[in-house]
Structure 1
């Protein structure tokens, strides 16, 4: 809704006080960097895929974004480094590697608003930690909207809105919601138990 992939059928969605339905979607998206759960990559080089964030970026800017997104670690093992073709939709990469390229792309765009749509949902704990480290660089000084089922992803949020059965169940800071012992606190406890069991 906030990026106008769909328009609200009731009420209004405002960004900076402006009703987004009054802004052309293409104009609106210039101010957004989006990291989806399912990353869209092309049968191009690592460099080419990252440069989609900002087509006029210099090689140095692309490489700086890649380093900030922790891409060097896996790209250094590739036969042609950043000039290696990654296959259709990144078929030669792991989920965590694909996600870090997506984050590098978003870093390169350097938009004031970042949307994270289940950005770590499909990752194992080790890859999630690497991606979270890259995300922390992306999110510095930005307005961030996070859609997540993993509570680790929203631990540092200023405000959490918990949706249940299509309704707002509760909202507040993570600490307030944990103290209330409601739906958010239940999900945090449940996920901690699951992570402990997996270890």
Structure 2
């Protein structure tokens, strides 16, 4: 597939398969086209050329509302509304009961922070969740996705802005969300793709490497191996100087 922004080609002949029941990770330098691929996969953008298929069906021929019913998306920037915690989670599935909504919240580890709120799940969270931390907002987003229980999950670096403690909690919640799903994850931190089934490496809008994390790490002259080495060196420097 290909894609252009304002006549500038940003994806060139990109082709890969995200298999059912597997985690496929998109990695690459900033501006390589990772997030664009994710949005094209969910038809939030339309391809300039080529086709994207789900279960053999060209998604450009599908009703957008029906198509989105098959997707759950967890992005770094979470959209929340000036309502209670439980109603923000219930947006994941219209008509869900309180019991179903609270079960999804518990699976996303929301209970931990909600018990400290003045009205529990009935606490208003402010415009765009202003009264919550980044990790708490992310767990509400994951609870929504768990409640929706769609077969396809798209994650656009859902933990990139979190500190180590919050990232661990969110990753635990994500592990429950991803079980048995078809998953497309956009990652900037190489440690978030260690358990992926397949890694697709993009550079300047093209697929340049593809394989398991272990195989790509073994290619010492490859982009993935270089990114892993750079991030490992950066983490070591930070540890020594903190």
TM-score range normalised by the length of the shorter chain: over 0.9
Verify the 8 A CA contact 1:3 1:25 in the aligned structure 2.
no
Match of 2:27 in 1: none
CA distance in 2, matches of 1:161, 1:5: 21
CA distance in 2, matches of 1:198, 1:42: 36
Q: Does 1:188 find its partner at 2:228?
A: yes
CA distance in 2, matches of 1:195, 1:41: 32
Q: Does 1:90 find its partner at 2:104?
A: no
Match of 1:160 in 2: 199
Verify the 8 A CA contact 1:50 1:62 in the aligned structure 2.
yes
Aligned-pair distance for 1:25? 1.1
- Bigger helix share: 1
CA distance in 2, matches of 1:132, 1:177: 23
TM-score when normalising by structure 1: 0.96
- Structure 1: which 4+ aligned runs deviate by more than 2 Å? 192-199
Q: Does 1:80 find its partner at 2:80?
A: no
Match of 1:8 in 2: 47
Query: Secondary structure at 2:41's aligned position in 1?
Result: coil
Match of 1:22 in 2: 61
Larger RCO of the pair (alpha carbons < 8 Å, separation 6+)? 2
> How many aligned positions are there?
199
CA distance in 2, matches of 1:19, 1:100: 32
Aligned-pair distance for 1:120? 1.1
Matches within 5 A, 1:97-176: 97-176=136-215
Query: Secondary structure at 1:8's aligned position in 2?
Result: coil
Gaps of 5+ in 1: none
CA distance in 2, matches of 1:113, 1:75: 28
Aligned-pair distance for 1:56? 1.1
Gaps of 5+ in 2: 1-39
Aligned-pair distance for 1:57? 1.0
TM-score when normalising by structure 2: 0.80
Mean Cα displacement is larger for which, 133-142 or 112-121?
Answer: 112-121
CA distance in 2, matches of 1:8, 1:64: 37
CA distance in 2, matches of 1:194, 1:74: 31
